Amino acid sequence: MITWMQRHKKYLVVTIWISVIAFVGAGFVGWGAYDFNSDRASAIAKVENRKITVQEYQLAYANYYNFYNNMLGGGLTQEKADQMGLEKIVLESIINETLILAYADEIGLRVMDSEIKQALASDTAFQKNGVFDKETYYRVIKQSQIKPKDYEIGLGKKLLLAKVQNVLKLKPTKAEEELFTSSMFMKDRVAIDIITLDEGEAVVSEDEIKKYWDKHKTEYLTEKSYDLSTIEVALTQKELDEEKLKAFYQEKRHNYKAADGKILSFADARVDVEKDYRLKLSKREALETYLLFKKSQMNATGEKNVKLSDTEFPVEQLKKAKIGTVLKPIETKNGYIIVKIIGIKNPEPKPYQEAKAQILAKLQAEKKVSALAKKAEARLGIFNGRDIGFISRDSAKVINGLTQVESLEFINFVFDNNKLVNYKIIGNKAVLYKILEQDLLSNVKAEKYATLVNDSIKQMKQAEINKNLVLNLKKRYDVEQFYKGK
């Protein structure tokens, strides 16, 4: 999946290029090679007179992180994000959009306050009964950990970028529409052959693993972790005052919503309300414990080792702290925990036996691909294959021998290249194919997807214009990059 993400990252940039505002759903990044000289500490880069602030970068990073995390079904870890070079993708994207903002400044494009107000008023996230509601706006912004002023500045940039895009917008020509229609709605009659490897065709020896480890051992590191001494403060179990509990619910009722967004009644939300209220009541004891622990007037009652990938612990707080630091009470499922950092274990090369499984998997995957490719290329000119009939880009058929997902991947590959005879490696299989016949789909189908064709042409032309514009602007404007990324 990481390979797929790296291969398609340029399309992501086009997809969410002008999305400056993001609700933070991922941890903020560590700074690595950051330059803290003078006022650079407040910015990661500067394009002409426009600074790219740390907060802007963090919001953009969270936006990209969420995009990939949703695509992976919640399976994106910080390690995977680092492997695909997410920080550099975000840096490139935000610098590119700032170049375009600088260009907007030069040609005199502006965004008026009234335009920002109009954009806020038309955003359904800030509406109540179909009308902009100031209380809802401030509540949503507060929950997103963004100041209204910062949100509005970011929204202004988004609107300005949209203005530039509108200026550069080109309509599809008739010839382009005809070319795209032919390309997108061609149907091919295809013959295929599926080959696999025999047992023993992609064996990796112990010697190969050791040789690889000797050369690449610095790539297989242990995860950074923190040794903590802890004190846990449990939720108070005292009997609750019913009237005070209801008053707490009234104050915080916007936090208790059903799946459809409607606010839950007190009765339906009671379990969560009671837990939150007990957390509030227990906070005083937690703060008192924190102060005593910090002054060494109370001893730890437990120990804990937390890795950077631990999603149930606010590791970002640990990144900023030094050995000996006592952190303020951290909310948990059962109350609060106060921790003191007693040790930091930095990444170091794993012992051979620990790294062996990872290396074996990598080398086996590479050998399988290489062996499949060699086997497929040897048979390309001589195979006849099995006629599977006509396929098109929007075919939903499951090809015998392939899963539904594999069938879709194969069909997309056939129409994404211009070879009549070729092969595609999918997992542990190589699918050889030859195109026997080509034909256009009906005019009815082409008309049905006319809007899709038009939008596709616009997006492709816009992406090409953006690419060339940015290349020219990089030569024209001064770009100072204070943070280089990992």
Q: pLDDT tens for residues 241-261?
A: 999 999 999 988 888 888 777
Q: How far is CA 246 from the centre of its chain?
A: 39
- Count of the separate structural domains present in the chain: 3
Tell me if 450 is assigned to some domain. Answer: no
Low-confidence ranges of the chain (pLDDT < 70): 1-42, 177-185, 440-453, 484-486
Q: What angle do CA 300, 305, 307 make, to 5 degrees?
A: 145
Q: For residue 172, tell me if it sits in a domain.
A: no
Instruction: Quote the pTM value.
Output: 0.48
CA 455 from chain center: how many Å? Answer: 24
Give the three-state DSSP class for 68. Answer: helix
Q: Are residues 272 and 362 in the same domain?
A: no
Query: Which uninterrupted H or E stretch holds 422?
Result: strand 421-426
- Rounding to the nearest 10 degrees, give the CA dihedral for residues 465, 467, 473, 478: 160
Write the CB contacts of 341 (distance below 8 Å, at least 6 apart in sequence): 226, 227, 228, 318, 321, 322, 323, 324, 325, 327
| Rounded distance between C-alpha atoms, residue 392 and residue 378, angstroms | 27
CA distances from 73 to 43, 69, 70, 227, 247 (A): 32, 6, 5, 31, 38
Instruction: Based on the fold, state whether residues 328 and 401 are members of the same structural domain.
Output: no
Residues 11 and 38 in one domain: yes
- Same domain (yes/no): 229, 335: yes
Whole-angstrom distance, CA of residue 23 vs CA of residue 43:
20
Tell me what pLDDT residue 434 has. 95
State residue 36's pLDDT score.
Answer: 36
Question: What is the predicted pLDDT for the residue at 205?
Answer: 93
The verdict on 263 and 307 lying in the same domain is yes
pLDDT confidence of residue 376: 94
- Is 250 strand, coil or helix? helix
Residue 451 domain flag: no
Asked if 269 and 320 sit in the same domain, the reply is yes
State how far the Cα of 77 lies from the Cα of 83, in Å rounded to an integer: 10
Predicted pLDDT at 73: 73
Q: Return the structure tokens found at 196.
A: 């696999």
Structure-block tokens of residue 66 = 């969420």
Q: Is 155 contained in some domain?
A: no
**pLDDT for position 20:** 33
Contacts of 283 (CB under 8 A, 6+ apart): 329, 336
Dihedral (CA of 315, 317, 322, 325) sign: negative
Q: What does the pLDDT read at residue 12? A: 42
Long-range contacts for 54-59 (Cβ within 8 Å, ≥24 apart)?
55/150, 56/20, 56/94, 56/154, 57/90, 57/91, 57/94, 57/483, 58/24, 58/28, 58/29, 59/20, 59/21, 59/22, 59/24, 59/146, 59/154
CB atoms within 10 A of CB 109: 16
Give 426's contacts (C-beta < 8 A, 6+ positions apart): 402, 406, 409, 410
Residues 355 and 339 in one domain: no
Question: Is the same domain home to 39 and 96?
Answer: yes
Note whether 181 and 446 are within 8 A (CB): yes
Which among 345, 363, 389 is the end of a domain?
Answer: 345
Considering the domain boundaries, does residue 341 fall inside one? yes
Chosen domain end from 325, 345, 365: 345
Q: Which two tokens stand for residue 61?
A: 């990073």
Write the pLDDT tens digit of every residue in 38-87: 444 468 888 988 988 888 888 888 888 888 888 777 778 888 888 888 88
Task: Check whether residue 340 and residue 356 sit in a common domain.
Answer: no
Do 206 and 263 belong to one domain?
A: no
Range of the domain at 98: 2-108+462-481
Each residue's pLDDT tens digit, 329-346: 998 888 999 999 999 999
**Inside any domain, residue 452:** no
Cα separation of 435 and 188, whole Å?
6
Distance (Å, rounded) from C-alpha 161 to C-alpha 268? 44
Is 131 part of a structural domain of the chain?
no
Which residue from 233, 172, 192 is spatially nearest to 386, judged by alpha carbons? 192
Model pLDDT, residue 2 = 41
- What pLDDT, on the 0 to 100 scale, is given for residue 416? 82
